Chains A and B, each alone.
Chain A
């Protein structure tokens, strides 16, 4: 057991956990943040995706020690009230079916938009191929990312 200091959704936390424990299980079972989901445990499905210093990571394999001194953002912290452009677009286009993979899909897309505010279809595919959806919501995921990107771009003064 070790103490790891990490900022989670803007709040500094001292976490007691074995250093090799994957971030996912620290979030879910130690801190009670259940938005990130378990799907494969091998970084194959993306259900567990969260942001680590702004970068999308698969929390099911990344040890908590790698987050020491860094900042983690989960779906619970993406916005206070579900108002992130991706969350809004997701609802407007009725992307979710069962919804289980959606926190991971949204967090993965959030990292994409942060580094590329107007991604092409090919760039969306290249990024989102890390995230599986068994319900098959892919057509709407693509559209929702584009819708959010358009709004972010407009909102930030035309693609700055």
Chain B
């Protein structure tokens, strides 16, 4: 693989780095022992700190906000408090393993504790595939500090130089004499020491857990049914609730009749929830809640309720006509988000031009666990149990709604039964809190699947148009990409009428192609529903259009799609479209540049492993696509067949370059999952709206992939000693274009609309 200008970071892996005392502190430990608080990158909520600082961050003593605690008990047990939410990405296992590795702790004596929502832990917002990226180096340093303090405590005990003492697998050994002391025996003394100034980190060949496929720490709880999710909390006196919400965002209840609901056996009470604001933001939508002795009675009561809705200004929203409006929008100039060279001149001078339009519908997250929350509001306080990605946000907004100080609200983070971005919005938490406040009882709120699909923060419907200019040799000399979709920001700010530059930098303005004349434009698309983040966000539709269009250009010029893709990407180089020191993902550009050499690498690996170029029977084809997002590179090859109009996905090869890998098996699992997620949206995902309301109800009309449609999935991890980056999201975007391109290879039919419908003309 070619690498150009990707310099290894100054304190990269393998360097014997110097720890930064500013973010590691000893803390008073309940029950004694050694307790370290670690302020990792992004420690201050809202701040976008250097992910892997090359200079020592200055953290004043008073603002120290540890977001991971390591507590070595005198029993030898190590508790690691993880402040990121677990939604299947394996973060509790991975972050703990990084600390335990440098600490030389025995993994079997490590226990992972979930942090409550509290600013004391720094930014807990779990999203953006950033947990490993932003915590890796400092957690290593924290582990190394703990180990060094234990070595010092042993040295003091033996009255020998510390350099003769080596922490190894939960004990410190005095090398010259072979004496040992267990970590538990040293915990108390180590806890009284000052945090050392200079601590060496391991070299990669010394890693004990990093790079090894440790089993998930929660496997036993999950496979025995003991894992607690949002609706699994049981409290004395708890009641169960369901909420009727206006089917149209921005609507409200004019009046309602509770009699029929109250007549349902088990129904206790009906309460009104005030209408939410405009724009909707993170707030509860409002509506009417039915409270009952069990969830089923609450559902039945809710169905029996009659509500007279004022549907509000979005009641005419129709996704079919909205699509037409966006098609009009991308046929006119939009707001420039990136412009290089002179695209108009390139088009005018072109030997050949080509344009195409791409469409994707609204998508819903449809995590298997619908939104659910238990809340208990009393005169004194408020306690919440919720599957939330951003626990501090939920806590803050709950406190605000209650008009009470945040300190009076306690938020426990349960397991998240899937999230994919949905559970970064705490609207459902606010509903539960509001109901509990009115009833003065603990409330267990469960959304039905219908509630989930109909009141989501949707991945936006999008229309894109790409136009290319080609010279006589078939080289692409001009690239004009217009993208139109309602912005996530419109959910929070009324005057946002098109995608933001931030959203365009998720795949559109970050197009990796080496084209001299290039322009990206954001076109108008006012929002009529709640728009939100969905696993990979705007990268999904941008990758689809760019990946499919690249394939069209290859066909137009009679070139092999993989070769043409590599030609478009051009030689390995660093792409830098961001002002300032950080890229769109808040990452220090010098530490982790956007390196097209790495993108070429995943294209080559995926193609090679998939047997690119092999001959296939008629009706079968291979398609390829690649995408950079969240600082990770993924290339994907799909093998499909079309028989009698039926599309079958046979095999997916997906190659990932995410730098050094902390847990290879979990990286593979995330990529496998991303392929399935990508196939669901390529083949099935389609939320439509009519009269402002969602037409789908449940998994029969919003299908997701089932096991019998599963292709062979082969994940290929590119070996790398670059700093590690995340894998939760980056595997999704290349799947749909790879499949669409494979359909073309198999049939000659172009796929420009998702989900794929081979009967469409």
Give A residues with C-beta under 8 Å from B.
Answer: 1, 18, 21-22, 24-25, 28-30, 32-42, 44-45, 47, 74-76, 78-79, 81-82, 87, 90-92, 94, 96-103, 106, 124-126, 128-129, 131-142
Contacts and interface: CB of A to CB of B under 8 A. Distances in A.
Given A94-B216, A100-B418, A40 B367 contact: no
Nearest to A137: B673
A81 B642 CA distance: 47
Given A98-B417, A99-B88, A42 B294 contact: no
A134 B704 contact: yes
B415 A98 contact: yes
8 contacts: A39-B369, A97-B90, A128-B708, A133-B707, A134-B418, A135-B676, A138-B707, A139-B672
B224 interface: yes
Contact of A94 (B89, B234, B669, B700): B669
Contacts of B88: 96-99, 135
B665 interface: yes
B700 A44 contact: yes
B713 interface: yes
A79 to B, nearest CB: 8
Contacts of B295: 25, 28-29, 38
B219 A98 contact: no
A136 B225 contact: no
Given A44-B699, A96-B222, A134 B677 contact: yes
B480 to A, nearest CB: 35
Given A90-B219, A99-B88, 12 more contacts: A24-B296, A29-B240, A33-B225, A38-B370, A39-B370, A82-B220, A94-B216, A100-B415, A129-B708, A134-B677, A138-B705, A140-B672
Given A129-B706, A132-B368, A29 B294 contact: yes
B530 interface: no
A35 B223 CA distance: 9
Nearest to A83: B224
Given A76-B224, A136-B672, A142-B707, A41 B299 contact: yes
B229 to A, nearest CB: 6
Nearest to A88: B223
Contacts of A78: 224
Given A39-B369, A41-B448, A41-B449, A98 B418 contact: yes
A70 B713 CA distance: 41
Given A39-B369, A134-B420, A87 B677 contact: no
Contacts of B218: 96, 99
Contacts of A44: 449, 698-700
B89 A97 contact: yes
Contact of B449 (A32, A42, A91): A42
Contact size range, B? 35 or more
B232 interface: yes
A82 B224 contact: yes
A30 B238 CA distance: 12
Given A96-B219, A135-B88, A34 B677 contact: no
A133 B446 CA distance: 19
A133 B88 CA distance: 11
B225 A90 contact: no
A42 B232 CA distance: 20
B689 interface: no
B713 A94 contact: no
B668 to A, nearest CB: 9
A99 B415 contact: yes
B456 to A, nearest CB: 13
Contacts of A97: 88-90, 669-670, 673
B446 A38 contact: yes
B265 interface: yes
Q: Is the interface of B mostly helix, strand, loop or mixed?
A: loop
Nearest to A25: B296
A107 B58 CA distance: 53
Contact of A125 (B220, B675, B708): B708
Interface centre among A28, A47, A76, A135 (most CB of B within 10 A): A135
B234 A34 contact: yes
B112 to A, nearest CB: 14
B328 interface: no
Nearest to A91: B219
B307 interface: no
Nearest to A35: B225
A20 to B, nearest CB: 9
B416 A98 contact: yes
A3 to B, nearest CB: 15
A98 B416 CA distance: 7
B366 interface: yes
A30 B294 contact: yes
B234 to A, nearest CB: 6
Contacts of B699: 40, 42, 44-45, 132
Interface centre among A79, A100, A101, A136 (most CB of B within 10 A): A136
A102 B219 CA distance: 10
Contacts of B673: 97, 135-137
A29 B232 CA distance: 9
B725 to A, nearest CB: 19
Interface in B214-254: 215-216, 218-229, 231-232, 234, 240
Nearest to A84: B223
Contacts of A42: 449, 698-700
B368 A1 contact: no
Contacts of A129: 706-708
Nearest to B221: A99
Contacts of B670: 97
A54 B227 CA distance: 24
